[in-house]
Structure 1
Amino acid sequence: MAAIREKSPAKRADAQRSIEAILDGAIRCLSRNPEASVSEIAKTAGVGRVTVYGHFPNRADLVEAALTRAIDDGHAGLEAVDLSGDPRDALARLVDSSWQLVNQSRSLLIAAQDVLPPGKIRELHAGPANRVERLIERGRDEGVFRTDLPTTWLVGVLHSIMHSAADEITAGRLTPDEAAGYITATVLAAFSPGALRP
């Protein structure tokens, strides 16, 4: 039996370039149209459908990889956001930066919601969610955010408001430029220790 030969470094590099091109194409296509086909993605990436399926056995795997890549890229950008000082001001800065990412990738998220279970999408968002959790916990410790509701609930409220803003933009009732201010005002009111208690 012939020995199995490993791919040469050049072939591995070619495969990695191919994967990067496919993911770039998937993010571009799915960000415009959540129903973009594998054929459209392959064409945008400059490869054949066979090449796409060679790396991603089905469309769900491709969508998951594209969402993972978009979240990782966004996560790196959010690391640069200054979260020091008053937690309310820090939250406003985080909302402004996070909202830009949500707005850019909302069609990609719709594509993911069509093919991935909710638990998987939450798992992929764990990094960004942890950043928000830490900031909310600090705000609670400093007495500027409410403590009568769980931190996980408050994180969920923030994400829900962001996605509602995206829906309002799609419906034509809100502009992208207005959204960050609306989200921040709503979230800070909801997180305030003086907010109506259940």
Structure 2
Amino acid sequence: MAAPSARSRRRADAERSIARIVSAARELLSSDPNATTDDIAQAAGVGRMTLYGHFRTRADLVEAAVADTLRAGEETLASVDLSGDARAAMTRLLASSWELVAESAALLAAAEGVLPAGRVRDLHAEPVRRMAELVGRGQEQGVFRTDLPNAWLVSLTHYILHGAANEVRQGRLARDVAADVVTKSIESALAGPVAS
């Protein structure tokens, strides 16, 4: 039986391997959604057996990379000041959200290619909750439209953000104007008819 210190050392080694693999997956999949597990193992400095010892399938690895990206992004989004006027708060939230989405567009494309339908959305639960609360507050303040359901307006912002990221990735929208295009599109969609 291994001594506790040997087990602790193996556990720490395993955690470091997992962290290197996930980091390599994030980096490679963010530039090429078709990066293979072999590419990722090589970039992480581990063998295929080690990679598959931690992640049984490519989908498991992609999901871990997306979850790690979202955890890091959550730190940024949680620090955005959402107080005061909902329109001004939305502008601040969209600026941070756009940067995160733009950086992870290829990774999300990889995820949508291998994860079950709806899983990518499930992984976005906290950003979706934050956006829903802000949209609801804007509806209560009378600055966001009330003729459409909150859930639809939140989905609409999600579609615009991810659609713009895809347009940038495909070269159909310049990255230097994309943030402005996204913000104007979402603000226009939210500021439609409001209750009188």
**Band the TM-score falls in, shorter-chain normalisation:** over 0.9
- Residue 60 of structure 1 aligns with an amino acid whose one-letter code is A
Structure 2 matches for 1:57-136, cutoff 5 A?
57-136=56-135
Gap runs ≥5 in structure 1: none
After superposition, the C-alpha distances for 1:68-105 in whole angstroms (9 at most, x for unaligned) are: 11111101111011111211111111111011111110
TM-score by length of 2: 0.93
Match of 2:19 in 1: 20
Runs (4 or more) in structure 1 with deviation over 6 Å come to: 3-7
Computed over aligned residues only, the root mean square deviation of the Cα atoms, in angstroms, reads 1.6
Paired residues in the alignment total: 193
How far the C-alpha of 1:4 sits from its partner, in A, is: 9.5
TM-score by length of 1: 0.92
Alignment CA distance shift 1:60-1:5 (3 Å)? farther
Q: Residues of 2 paired with 1:153 and 1:62: CA distance?
A: 31
Structure 2 matches for 1:115-194, cutoff 5 A?
115-194=114-193
After superposition, the C-alpha distances for 1:139-180 in whole angstroms (9 at most, x for unaligned) are: 111110111111110011001111221122133232222111
Q: Identity of paired residues, percent?
A: 48
- Residue 30 of structure 2 aligns with an amino acid whose one-letter code is S
- Residue 157 of structure 2 aligns with an amino acid whose one-letter code is L
Are the equivalent residues in 2 in contact too, given 1:140–1:146 (CA < 8 A)? yes
Gap runs ≥5 in structure 2: none
